[in-house]
Structure 1
Amino acid sequence: MKFNSIINVVEATLFRRRLAVLVFFLLTSIFLLFQATQIKLDAAFTKHIPLNHSYMKTYLEHRENFGGANNVLISVCDTSDDIFNPEFFTALKGVHDKLFFIPGVDRIQVKSLFSPSTRFVEIVEDGFAGGPVIPANFQPDEAGLAIVKGNIEKAGIVGSIVADDYSCSMVKTSLMEIDPNTGEKLDSIVLAGQLENEIRGEFEKDKISIHIIGFTKMVGDVAQGAKGVVTFFAIAIAITTLMVFWFCRSLALTILPITCSLIAVVWQLGMLSTLGFGLDPMSILVPFLVFAIGVSHGVQMINSVSKMVNNGKTSKEAAQLSFRVLLVPGGIALLSDTVGFMTLLSIDIGIIRELAITASLGVAMIILTNLVLLPLLVSYMKVPKNKVSKEGPKSSSADSIWHLMSTFATRKVAMVILALTAVLYIVGYINAQDMKIGELHAGAPSLHEESRYNQDTFLITDKYAISVDYMSIIVETTADACTYYDRMDVIDRFQWRMENVPGVQSAVSLASIAKIVNAGYNEGNPKWRVLSRNPQTLVQSIARVPSSSGLLNSDCSAMPVILFLEDHKAETITRVVDEVKVLASELGNDNLTFKLASGPVGVMAATNEAVEAAQIPMMLYVYGAVIILCLLSFRSLRATIAVVVPLYVVSTLAQWLMTALDIGLTVSTLPVIALGVGIGVDYGIYILSTMSVKLRNGATVQSAYFDALKERGSAVLITGVTLAIGVSTWFFSDLKFQVDMGILLTFMFLVNMIAAVLVLPAIAAFLWPERK
């Protein structure tokens, strides 16, 4: 009674001061619209990695010495498949210089044929001779090019800086976290635009092709593809508008829920900007979900108002009654959505946490715009009769459909439904165990295989001996450890063991370079390609390797073993990481430890482990929140079971679908499961809120379900179909991750709706006693 009194007070206060409340909404909307125009795309590299993961602590600790995982690789290629011509070297020099002066580029890490640190060493009668691969007096004539070609072969950089077939040459660097010009975080999207315009746009010509890869370039391409989201948003609005108009047959009643839902999106973006957040390309889809959720709740409100008007109420009375009736189920449903999204904060990855905040803010705005603003606006208009409440022109036809569907709540039919559901769940659960954690395809998984970025990736992988997928294992030891044979021998044995792990293409470390240099001091005899046990000889072997090589730090207390992998598929990363852990335990000692991990694949490994660790807790938090809110709302364990069990079955089937479609559980797909549960619970709450009232009044389960279908059924069905059609347009996106999300959300929207009208009443048939 006390709770009902609070609702009555809120209702009376709002509707007595309708004009003042609407003025407040208008002023707030103007302010937040201005704030929304100030929002920017934000794609910082560190947001995409679990910073508190042990691998990432190692990565951050040694990033300054060995470079980070945020690299840019630019392959300059000659279309004639021969780089030894003046035009090519002019272009290569131009790319090197242009990249060197782009703000945010770590100039120390810029590496190409024109870098002074790119040197060759050769064995001569007196020992060693060497110098820069491209000498200071280089002229791109026939003689000069012949000298450079010889130096390239002596330097042993074919396959790394120069392509195996001499058709391309690489310019690569690492990026800093802070833009030195602004003192703020480096804007990856702006830098990606500079790479595209100032390097590819300027130097790609008839004979020269430019191929650029790296996290920053990938984010830039994703941001470019994300612009298409605006088109899909417009299409979704158009489809939703048509579906809502078909449902209510009134232009005014169509415009109101659409407008209120768009206001919720504006408020969401405005609040994000006000709180200092940007919008990441990976979470740019969330505003559409907010709009879709808003429309689904708006349709419920319009449906309720129209029915009451047809029962003789005025528009204002109908709006007030609908507000009172729907505030609790609608509020609980939206609160479930919000809490469900907030559980994503438990995942230690910045982009997922921002997505959680973005989605939660949006759903919180819907509570105000669609449960408060919408009925207030409706109270001022004249709602036409016979639009919704009669379920179309032939109410008897609709009633016959509802009567047929009400048999789902009879035990004889329910037994069949539950048996089929159980079979589906068992099959789904078994197949869901094969769901992989991480990326399952080569190239950038956010983009389609035929995208320019992935085509550049495939070309670089094909042209060069080293893979762009590499992982650095940092060997932490005591100062000057590289002068001790026992320490270097352990590193050498670790490297040899790792080179023989399936999926590892090659490996390099200071130990392997020292062996090559030692052979050079002995006339290049392969028998001497070993680590010397003599400290002086060992010092001689490593003296020519500078710390700028990335193979040791200044005091030789940290040395990476760089593993080049064949790909970054989840199973490859898992296999390599598991073997590293075994060998680290076997070969490590008090003076020497092997630390995972740096490099792009090290980041992927940490992300995969963070996603895997978060999967079960996230689901427990989501379902825990839904269960608690349902218990508070219905104050009935039976009602909670009836709502939650279908949700859980659908979540399991969604994981089966991911396995069947070869979609891995990643940063972009993990939140979809939580989003699907949060949004999917709305159907069940709306249906059961009507059923529970009828059941408390002594109605049979079938009768209660029949009344719920008459009151809410059409609205539930139309919103489920509308949401599914809206996200199904994502199938045509330029972004692969958006296609995957579209497939999963379409499935969850539709199947959760089907489960709410099919499985929920079947469960209810056995949870409530039969009455005559």
Structure 2
Amino acid sequence: MKKFFKHPWIIISIILIATGFFTIQLPKLKINNEVKIFLPKNHQSRIANDKMEEVYGSAEVMAVALHVKSGNIFQLNIINTIKNLEDRIEKLDNVEKVDGLTSTDYIDGTADGMKVASIVKELPKTEADLNVIKGKLLDWKLYRGNLYSKDLKSTQILVKLKKGIKIEEQEKIYFEIKDILKDNSSSNIEYYVAGTPVITVLMGKYMKSDMKHLIPFVLIIVLLSLYLSFKNLGGVLLPSITVLVSTIWTLGLMAMLNINLTLVSTVIPVLLIAVGSAYGIHIISHYYDEIKSMGKCGITEEEHRELIFETLHKVGKPVLLAGLTTIAGFGSLATSSIIPIKNFGIFTAIGVTSALIVALTLIPALLLLRHKNLKCSEEEDDDGLISRMLIGFYHYFGKKAIRILTLTAIIVIVSIVGMSKVVIDSPLIDMFKSTTEIKVSDKFDNNNFNGTTVLNVLIDGPKDKKGKYIKGSMVNPEILKGMDNLKIYLKENYKDVGEVTSFADFIKRMNKVMNYPQEDTADSMATDSGIVDDSSSFADDSFGDSTDDSSFSDDSFATEDTTKPEIVTETAKVTPKKSIDKTDMVALMNNAILSANKTDLTAEELIEIINRELNYKGEAYNEVPYDISKYPATTRAELKNLISQYLLLYSGNLNDFIDDQLEPSRSRMMIQIRTGSNIVTEKIEKAVYKYAKEYFPKGYTVSVAGSADMGLAVNKLIISSQIMSIISSLIIVFIIVAFSYKSLVAGIYGTIPLGIALLINFGLMGFLGIKLDIGTAMVASIAIGIGVDYTIHFLSTYNYERKRSDDLEEVTKKTLLTSGKAIIFNAVSVALGFAVLLFSNFMPLVNLGLLISITMVTSSAASMTVLPALLNIFKPKFISK
């Protein structure tokens, strides 16, 4: 040892050079929080997402919502604003497509068959023009909750990003959209921007804010706690230098290896500053204790040199042992399948290793350069505040081991009850505080539209003997009917499902417009031209004079017209116009109620049933062509041909839903969910698989994909990762302690305080309603990695004192007065350091900071109460060897 420190300047120079090298690497650090990077590349959910994007393009969509404070969206200036926004956003780089009120395709029936055009061809100039737009929007339910809210005061623009764009490009689009919205600001308009890409971008923004403010904050806290602990400059600076150097080395290495910073790795600098000081604290604490133990107020340089080596000899082993167990605790996270947590485990272990190396080399080297005679404090502080507190602590607990163990047993039982209440859920949106911009926007979207969380259902048709998809299998009425029924089932049984959109919705619309009655086709053409024909309205004087029935015939429209429509390719089906009298109208309404599957019909639902009865604007054919008795077909194969003809006529783009415009063999359904909860997503996924297995035709396979599915996959991995990291870290701690003392019993004693602290941690999570998420999943391993230090230092000092005396009371008291002080200094420093995370922008990190701070208190307290109680009662042989 003495030879190693013969030239301290060499040690200092090497560390300075290494620090300079890693400092140069720091600007290369990049931030990335895309949900897919949380999963291994070979994970099923990530593969499914890649497959989906390969077929259907990017699934990344930003939702730009516009809310009108006064009036509704059907105002001339509002429509003009929407049109301006859509045009400008569509021109942005890396924007693939924009769907909004003025640009989305509208499928309509004409005298020639079918027409597809934008809802707004020309900007409206009159109220009549606005009514035409409103009529189109209300005519197709597909638009509801996507293009307009129920109260008609909000609309949204869906901005689809190009596939595979980098996070930097997503950031650029987001901030450009914000600038466009600023240019179109109005006192009557509020804007909200939401969606998974926005979450990703803003996570990066808030991460930068966290690192900018929290790192200096935690450094100040640690410096302050060090000053209050040692009350001298050396006790403050030396541990601080250790943590700064180890933090720079760790982040510099991440930058050099192109490891991205994620929400999880934001904690690394805070953790290393809070934890890395521990090794320096123990060395400095024992260093000053050695000076005081010399019993004089001045020592020579040679005496000082020997004192340093004596300190290293005394605390070197426990510091090294504590470091190794901490490395093991953090390193256990490397077993996680969640990539950011895995990287967190690897690099925190590297950071702790760096802190350990620097503490055991740089601190002694700097101390050795202090050539001036040292003077001890003239104040008598052996009986200072900390010492008096420890003596009082001992008298209250140390002499009453049974009291300690009884209280501990009660705490453990209560904690187990709390642990049973822990909920496992990690929605990305819940990482933000309720007041943040993205959380407010997401809440607005979920309350007013169909939902910002999208679960994609991929349906693949049958394959031939060569393993190739059979072309045109997705125009089979059986699968289309199955898709439509699945939509109905999900919306009826899961309240969080806002909408389910699929290829079947477009086929239903095509079938409807191709079966418009002739007068409705004429009305549609007139309306599309801006001409409103009131003659087709029921709002005439029919009900004004009960004696005048001249406008009605004796024909009843309550009887279904069984005439089958011809298969049309160029012209719409023509249905003779009929009239009904008042009695027939009442009968029609009553029949509508009788035919419904519930009694509490809304006015809208009643009108829909009547429209079907009257086949108003083809409403009787707003369905997947399936019933061969209703169409000129003898088999469903013939209906399949009808659907194929619809696709030939359709001039719009269906690339978001099918793999081929004319002969699709694969299709995608999009389920919009009004919550980001993974628990809800899992229930819906199970329902999809179960329904498809029971009701979809044979040969068709179903899978799920997208950000919602990947979020659920991460949520599931949290459980397995948590269990694996706890078990592996406890086993490693057990082995290290057992090997150090050459006793399996010692390993058990080493893990008992940690086990108690972990139970309390999970118990608190249950009682406080703190979810087990991506942040709190790391608490256990961090707690084990740090908390074991207290146990090791107490065992080491207790073992040292036990060899010198059989008086257990004296042994316990001396251990508390030496290691006890260092444990308190360390626990306070780490707890306050992690408490800084309470000011983070992210709720998982706020909860992480709270739980780690509490765990530092519980693990240190258990080390100084439960551990000595067990040692004094059972007197294990290993402790006195």
TM-score of the alignment, normalized to the shorter chain, above 0.5:
yes
State whether structure 2 residue 694 is matched by structure 1 residue 586: yes
TM-score by length of 1: 0.88
State whether structure 2 residue 323 is matched by structure 1 residue 339: no
2:704 is aligned, of 575, 591, 596, to 596
Partner of 2:640: 535
CA gap of 1:745–1:489, structure 2 versus 1, over 3 A, is same
CA gap of 1:113–1:309, structure 2 versus 1, over 3 A, is same
Q: Aligned partner of 2:219: which letter?
A: I
Aligned ranges for residues 253-264 of structure 1 at < 5 Å? 253-264=235-246
Partner of 2:44: 54
1:476 is aligned, of 460, 479, 484, to 460
Q: Aligned partner of 1:535: which letter?
A: K
Partner of 1:8: none
Structure 2 Cα separation of the partners of residues 379 and 697 of structure 1: 30
CA gap of 1:455–1:634, structure 2 versus 1, over 3 A, is same
Structure 2 Cα separation of the partners of residues 359 and 280 of structure 1: 14
Partner of 1:551: 657
Structure 2 Cα separation of the partners of residues 316 and 37 of structure 1: 40
Partner of 2:565: none
Partner of 2:796: 689
Q: Deviations over 1:89-132 (max 9, x none)?
A: 44333433443344443x1x4322344xx221234566434422
State whether structure 2 residue 285 is matched by structure 1 residue 191: no
User: The residue matched to 1:174 in structure 2 has which SS?
Assistant: strand
Aligned ranges for residues 214-293 of structure 1 at < 5 Å? 214-226=195-207, 227-293=209-275
User: The residue matched to 2:770 in structure 1 has which SS?
Assistant: coil
CA gap of 1:632–1:188, structure 2 versus 1, over 3 A, is farther
Task: Tell me the CA shift for residue 580 of structure 1.
Answer: 2.9
User: The residue matched to 2:670 in structure 1 has which SS?
Assistant: strand
Q: Deviations over 1:441-488 (max 9, x none)?
A: xx8212111222111112222222x11122112112223222223333
CA contact (8 A) 1:727 1:745 kept: yes
Partner of 2:187: 206
2:679 is aligned, of 558, 571, 580, to 571
User: The residue matched to 1:212 in structure 2 has which SS?
Assistant: strand
Partner of 2:573: none
Structure 2 Cα separation of the partners of residues 352 and 306 of structure 1: 38
Task: Tell me the CA shift for residue 195 of structure 1.
Answer: 4.0
TM-score by length of 2: 0.78
CA contact (8 A) 1:477 1:591 kept: yes
Partner of 2:55: 65
Task: Tell me the CA shift for residue 764 of structure 1.
Answer: 2.3
CA contact (8 A) 2:423 2:771 kept: yes
State whether structure 2 residue 429 is matched by structure 1 residue 437: no
CA contact (8 A) 1:44 1:188 kept: no
Task: Tell me the CA shift for residue 291 of structure 1.
Answer: 0.6
Deviates more, 1:284-293 or 1:261-270: 261-270
Structure 2 Cα separation of the partners of residues 662 and 581 of structure 1: 31
Partner of 2:65: 75
Aligned ranges for residues 652-663 of structure 1 at < 5 Å? 652-663=759-770
State whether structure 2 residue 442 is matched by structure 1 residue 457: yes
Partner of 2:499: 506
Structure 2 Cα separation of the partners of residues 654 and 530 of structure 1: 55
Partner of 1:315: 304
Partner of 1:561: 669
Structure 1 Cα separation of the partners of residues 386 and 831 of structure 2: 25
Structure 2 Cα separation of the partners of residues 515 and 655 of structure 1: 52
2:105 is aligned, of 95, 104, 119, to 119
Deviates more, 1:123-132 or 1:685-694: 123-132
Q: Aligned partner of 1:287: which letter?
A: P
Q: Deviations over 1:124-163 (max 9, x none)?
A: 566434422122x546565654543343334542321233
User: The residue matched to 1:650 in structure 2 has which SS?
Assistant: helix
Give runs of ≥4 in structure 1 deviating > 6 Å: none
Aligned ranges for residues 718-757 of structure 1 at < 5 Å? 718-757=825-864
CA contact (8 A) 2:479 2:697 kept: no
CA contact (8 A) 1:519 1:530 kept: no
CA gap of 1:282–1:92, structure 2 versus 1, over 3 A, is farther
CA gap of 1:522–1:37, structure 2 versus 1, over 3 A, is closer
Structure 1 Cα separation of the partners of residues 321 and 102 of structure 2: 64
Partner of 2:394: 405
CA contact (8 A) 1:425 1:649 kept: yes
Partner of 2:149: 163
User: The residue matched to 1:72 in structure 2 has which SS?
Assistant: strand
Task: Tell me the CA shift for residue 699 of structure 1.
Answer: 3.5
User: The residue matched to 2:193 in structure 1 has which SS?
Assistant: strand
Structure 2 Cα separation of the partners of residues 130 and 547 of structure 1: 10
Task: Tell me the CA shift for residue 512 of structure 1.
Answer: 4.2
CA contact (8 A) 2:33 2:200 kept: yes
Aligned ranges for residues 484-499 of structure 1 at < 5 Å? 484-499=476-491
Q: Deviations over 1:25-46 (max 9, x none)?
A: 1222222222224434344453
User: The residue matched to 1:444 in structure 2 has which SS?
Assistant: helix
Q: Deviations over 1:705-744 (max 9, x none)?
A: 3332222111111221222223223333333233222211
Structure 2 Cα separation of the partners of residues 436 and 305 of structure 1: 46
CA gap of 1:209–1:566, structure 2 versus 1, over 3 A, is closer
State whether structure 2 residue 717 is matched by structure 1 residue 610: yes
CA contact (8 A) 2:63 2:159 kept: yes
CA contact (8 A) 2:32 2:167 kept: no
Which structure 1 residue ranges, 5 or more long, are not aligned? 1-10, 180-184
Task: Tell me the CA shift for residue 657 of structure 1.
Answer: 1.5
CA contact (8 A) 2:35 2:710 kept: no
Task: Tell me the CA shift for residue 306 of structure 1.
Answer: 1.0
CA contact (8 A) 2:451 2:498 kept: yes
Structure 2 Cα separation of the partners of residues 447 and 397 of structure 1: 40
CA contact (8 A) 2:429 2:676 kept: no
Structure 1 Cα separation of the partners of residues 126 and 30 of structure 2: 49
Q: CA RMSD in A?
A: 3.1
1:715 is aligned, of 810, 816, 822, to 822
Task: Tell me the CA shift for residue 495 of structure 1.
Answer: 3.4
Partner of 1:4: none
CA contact (8 A) 1:409 1:765 kept: no
CA gap of 1:158–1:97, structure 2 versus 1, over 3 A, is same
Partner of 1:7: none
User: The residue matched to 2:99 in structure 1 has which SS?
Assistant: coil
User: The residue matched to 1:110 in structure 2 has which SS?
Assistant: strand
Q: Aligned partner of 1:486: which letter?
A: E
CA gap of 1:500–1:615, structure 2 versus 1, over 3 A, is farther
Structure 2 Cα separation of the partners of residues 581 and 645 of structure 1: 45
Q: Aligned partner of 2:337: which letter?
A: D
Structure 2 Cα separation of the partners of residues 692 and 431 of structure 1: 36
Q: Deviations over 1:608-651 (max 9, x none)?
A: 12222322122212212222222232322222212212212211
State whether structure 2 residue 345 is matched by structure 1 residue 356: yes
Which structure 2 residue ranges, 5 or more long, are not aligned? 463-469, 517-617, 627-635
Structure 2 Cα separation of the partners of residues 174 and 338 of structure 1: 44
Deviates more, 1:659-668 or 1:83-92: 83-92
Q: Aligned partner of 2:679: which letter?
A: E
CA contact (8 A) 2:722 2:778 kept: no
Q: Percent same amino acid among aligned pairs?
A: 20
CA gap of 1:396–1:467, structure 2 versus 1, over 3 A, is closer
CA gap of 1:245–1:206, structure 2 versus 1, over 3 A, is same
Structure possessing the higher radius of gyration over alpha carbons? 2
Structure 1 Cα separation of the partners of residues 412 and 58 of structure 2: 44
Structure 2 Cα separation of the partners of residues 383 and 267 of structure 1: 34
Partner of 2:276: 294
